[in-house]
Amino acid sequence: MKVLKFGGTSVGSPERIKHVASLIMPGERNVVVLSAMSGTTNSLVEISEYLYKGNIPGAQETINALEAKYVAVISELFATDGGRLKASEALEHIFALLRSYLSEPLTEAGEKEILAQGELMSTALMQRYLEEKGVRSALLPALDYMRTLESGEPDMQHIGTRLRRMIDLAPKADIFLTQGYICRNSTGGIDNLKRGGSDYTASIIGAVLEAEEIQIWTDIDGMHNNDPRFVEGTRPVGELHFEEAAELAYFGAKILHPSCVLPAKLHNIPVRLLNTLQPEAAGTVIYNFPPDGKLKAIAAKDNITAVKIKSGRMLLAYGFLHKVFETFEYHRTSIDMMATSEVGVSVSVDDDSRLAAIVDDLKHFGTVTVERDMVIICVVGDLEWQNCSFQAKVISALDGIPLRMISYGGSNYNISVLVRSADKLRALKALSAALF
């Protein structure tokens, strides 16, 4: 059994939905995870924002526009009136639910329910399309098995038990369809695995079912060696180690959700990144293999803030770093990069929502400086420290670009530098030119 996940653009139009249906191989009893059609989750976010602001006409207009889009999709997708009718009925329920929020103040739980509708719509459409095509599919509702613990981590045991039971209850199905992204939290409320989280759904399912492979189908032929949105001439990387893929996903390679690698890695299940628009392309396979001494790819993580704490008096004393880290921990803010010297420490964070309180607390231990609008540029590969010169090539490629921080040796897989946002493009291009 394989797990196949199709992202938003892969199911973004009637034509694409038909194409995905043709890629799903009946007979293998694979699990197919679908995202919302591209643009839908953004519209649902927008609806919630209008509702929070009490702008009912704004919410209404966005719901109407979304509904018009789906009405058009249904009329093009289905060949028969029967198919159209069934799909329209399913979606009518969803739009009625969205409209029910127009008359009450929005709560966080309500927002989560609104955000869940995109995946419920795409799977409803696909299920009915497959039915019209005579394919025997079974829908596995994610809200009936996907659950997180109080810690926010997936409840793997519960998910595995429920999912296996649901699969056993559908012996005639050739294909299992399910929603990415959506889940229930530890109190049973509707929740989600954060934006882009359908990749994570696929990986969790692959892990609990001990699948043969997890396939992430998207709009590009695998992990490229640099961000194709900013650099021309990037090329797909054939193979990535789990650790390399995890670093790239964490440091901004949007093709993979950062949490997606871990469940697959722990269960040693290969993850294949494939292109729906070019199914014959080899893509990227992520698995465990011996060190190969190669540089693989460059990624960038935006909206980073650097925080420097300088203390002539305390740094040499025991416990200075402990106090600094404890402050970040207390404010539940994780640190991405760090650099230390005898008189101070610099760290970078991507979540600055609690920064004012953090800075306030850190002022007990030293002089604090904050620099915003920074970017982490991360070069990933098999960078075992005895393999000389990788770091020299990286640093010399960045000659002329001010580097706020450098991090090397934290793992065998990355060298990261912190630069100003204004220098991001220049840095990415210079690295591609020098390294590939």
Where do contacts with ligand ASP occur on this chain (CB under 6 A)? 7-8, 35-36, 41, 118, 180-181, 195-198
Smallest gap from residue 281 Cβ to ligand ADP (A)? 12
CA–CA separation, 129 vs 132, rounded Å?
5
Among 222, 239, 221, 237, smallest CA distance to 278 is for: 221
Does 331 help bind ligand ADP (rule: CB under 6 A)?
no
Nearer to ligand ADP, 237 or 349 (CB): 237
Does 275 help bind ligand ADP (rule: CB under 6 A)?
no
What is the C-alpha radius of gyration for the chain, rounded to an integer number of angstroms? 24
Nearer to Mg ion, 41 or 48 (CB): 41
Please give the residues from 24 up to 83 whose contact with ligand ADP meets the rule CB under 6 A. Answer: 35
Helices of type H across 267-399: 320-330, 355-362, 390-397
Does 180 help bind Mg ion (rule: CB under 5 A)?
no
Q: Contact, 137 vs 127, CB < 8 A?
A: yes
Angle subtended at Cα 244 by Cα 242 and Cα 250, rounded to the nearest 5 degrees: 100
Nearer to ligand ADP, 7 or 366 (CB): 7
Q: Contact, 183 vs 142, CB < 8 A?
A: yes
How many CB atoms sit inside 10 A of residue 53's CB?
Answer: 11
Out of 71, 173, 228, 412, the only residue in the binding site for ligand ADP (CB under 6 A) is 228
Smallest gap from residue 118 Cβ to ligand ADP (A)? 12
Nearer to ligand ASP, 203 or 284 (CB): 203
Nearer to ligand ADP, 146 or 248 (CB): 248
Q: CA distances (Å), 180 to each of 75, 152, 253, 382, in order?
A: 25, 16, 19, 32
CA–CA separation, 253 vs 230, rounded Å?
12
Smallest gap from residue 343 Cβ to ligand ASP (A)? 43
CA–CA separation, 272 vs 259, rounded Å?
16
Out of 47, 63, 115, 220, the only residue in the binding site for ligand ADP (CB under 6 A) is 220
Helices of type H across 179-310: 198-208, 242-250, 261-266
Given ligand ASP, Mg ion, ligand ADP, none, residue 118, with its beta carbon under 5 to 8 Å by kind, binds ligand ASP
* Residues in Cβ contact with 152 at an 8 Å cutoff, skipping those fewer than 6 apart: none
Given Mg ion, ligand ADP, ligand ASP, none, residue 229, with its beta carbon under 5 to 8 Å by kind, binds ligand ADP
Given ligand ADP, ligand ASP, Mg ion, none, residue 219, with its beta carbon under 5 to 8 Å by kind, binds ligand ADP
Does 283 help bind ligand ADP (rule: CB under 6 A)?
no
* Residues in Cβ contact with 427 at an 8 Å cutoff, skipping those fewer than 6 apart: 300, 375, 377, 398, 401, 417, 419
Does 196 help bind ligand ADP (rule: CB under 6 A)?
yes
Q: Scanning the structure block, which residue is given the tokens 């009912």?
A: 56
Nearer to ligand ADP, 5 or 308 (CB): 5
| CA torsion through residues 17, 239, 196, 436, sign | negative
**Binding range to Mg ion, per CB under 5 A, among 2-10, 18-26, 132-140, 322-330:** 2-10
Given ligand ADP, ligand ASP, Mg ion, none, residue 228, with its beta carbon under 5 to 8 Å by kind, binds ligand ADP
Smallest gap from residue 199 Cβ to Mg ion (A)? 6
CA–CA separation, 255 vs 196, rounded Å?
9
Out of 2, 4, 8, 197, the only residue in the binding site for ligand ADP (CB under 6 A) is 8
Q: Contact, 418 vs 403, CB < 8 A?
A: yes
Out of 175, 253, 315, 383, the only residue in the binding site for ligand ADP (CB under 6 A) is 253
Out of 36, 94, 146, 223, the only residue in the binding site for ligand ADP (CB under 6 A) is 223
Q: Supply φ then ψ for residue 211, to 5 degrees.
A: -65, 160
Q: Contact, 251 vs 295, CB < 8 A?
A: no
Smallest gap from residue 223 Cβ to ligand ADP (A)? 5
How many CB atoms sit inside 10 A of residue 141's CB?
Answer: 14
Nearer to ligand ADP, 113 or 199 (CB): 199
Nearer to ligand ADP, 127 or 226 (CB): 226
Q: 3-state DSSP call for residue 53?
A: coil
Does 196 help bind Mg ion (rule: CB under 5 A)?
yes
Does 255 help bind ligand ADP (rule: CB under 6 A)?
yes
Residues lying near ligand ADP in the complex (CB under 6 A) are found at: 7-10, 35, 196, 218-220, 223-224, 227-229, 253-255, 297
Residues lying near Mg ion in the complex (CB under 5 A) are found at: 7, 196
